[in-house]
Chain A
Amino acid sequence: MASILSLRDVEKSFGAVTVADQLSYDVAAGEALGVVGPNGAGKTSMFNLITGTLKPDSGDIAFEGRMITSTSAAARCRAGIARSFQIPQPFGGMSVFENLLVAATQGAREPARRANALCLDVLEQTGLMAKANALAGSLTLLERKRLELARALCAKPRLLLLDEIAGGLTQHECEALVGTITDIRSTGVSIVWIEHVVHALLAVVDRLIVLDFGRKIADGDPHDTMASREVQEVYIGIEADA
């Protein structure tokens, strides 16, 4: 299978703190990749590098075979990469519907009528229809997270990056979310999903990578990887210390 995203020896550090250390991996077209790792492992920084809000010190990033290492964040979105933010970044003074419309008109570059239709469909799909006219700034944290997912979808990505969207959900809501993401996948969208709620992640992803101090320490079948020694050390070691 052709790879949709490819990272080659990507390095990034802020002074003494390394957030990406010789990071290399591929995401196959249509694949769903899970990313786990302790806090500060460089997971969100990796998304910033892929989406272009952060420039790597060295290394290369390719999307659908084209080098995008020096492409602007805006151009990468228009090329087909969309993300959700771990700390929601709504357009607070705009309605929920208009938040989605920004993605549909600017990211997906849909003409007005089709943009409206796309946003209405995504509102329904993500359960935000009742909040369509609410100001995004007035939403609760959970609603804002749902808005993050909805807005990313309206950019019509071929690669969707999800950053911790399942935290704080009830069992029932979490199952609904897993259903939504499975549906998105079935339309052919490739997904990279950072998530601490591991059971939700394992219900969706085909493959799992583990990051620690910006370094990829494991990569493979989700269940085997979670059971591996390195992962147990990183996770249980930290939990035992805490």
Chain B
Amino acid sequence: MLKLLKEIFRTGEATVKYPFAPMPVCKDFRGKPEHKAEDCIACAACTVACPANAIGMETDTAAGSRTWSIDYGRCVFCGRCEESCPTSAIRLSDDFELAVGSKADLTRKAVFTLADCACCGKPFAPAKEVDYVARLLSQSARSAEEADRLRLTASTCPACKRAQDVHHIADMGIARQMTQELETTP
């Protein structure tokens, strides 16, 4: 009996103090994905990566907005969003206390504005993404003119780019034909 009591005192208390004291979590614990909307460029990489479709994007061209949303109720805490985020805007925090009484409290949303195409004037991509890409491209540009050109390319919608390419190729074709004819005519 004495031996047993001694053993009990030696072992001490195994039970954790939670919820009366904060619960320590291990390093790199995968808790609630924390989204910093200020750093987000609404590129939708996390939307594609999310295996449970917890993260979604909805584009409303009439209102010129794109809404990012996450449903913590559907999240499986895999960290693929964090892996794919180019600006480190989303990161899994060590917060695990997610229980809620109403399902609406499990969602987070962020509304971003869409930028208009420099050519046709229709909204085509989030303004923050266009701005980010333009700055990134002009950072690695060799000259000021190249930077301007790259910035214009970044703020043109794919349809306009394609149309311009077609025009450009057609012009090139005509020019080539003319030079060939000039060369062949005596």
Are A and B physically bound partners?
Answer: no
Chain A residues close to B by CB (< 8 Å): none
